[in-house]
Amino acid sequence: MPKTEVILTHNIVGLGGESDHVKVAAGYARNYLFPQGLAIPLSAANKRRVEALQKRRAEREAHEFNTMTELSKSISKLIAVLAVKTGDDGKMFGTVTAGMIADQLKTQFDVALDKRKIHLEHPIKALGEYDVDLRLHPEVHATLKVRVESSTPLVQSEAEKEAAEAKEKAEARRSESRGHRKARETEVTAAPVGQAEGAEEKPKKAKAPKAKKAE
Residue 153 has pLDDT above 80, yes or no: no
Give the domain ranges of the chain: 3-67, 76-150
Domain 3-67 belongs to what topology? Ribosomal Protein L9; domain 1 (3.40.5)
Look at residue 215 in the predicted model and tell me its pLDDT: 40
Question: Could you report the per-residue pLDDT of 103-152, keeping only the tens digit for each?
Answer: 999 999 999 999 999 999 888 999 999 999 999 998 999 999 999 999 87
Residue 48 has a CB neighbour count (10 Å cut-off) of 9
- CA atoms of 50 and 5, how far apart (whole Å): 14
Reference 110, options 138, 80, 145; nearest CA is: 80
pTM assigned to the model: 0.57
Mean pLDDT of the chain: 82
Q: Which CATH class is domain 76-150?
A: alpha beta
Q: Is 194 exposed, middle or buried (0-12, 13-18, 19+ CB in 10 A)?
A: exposed
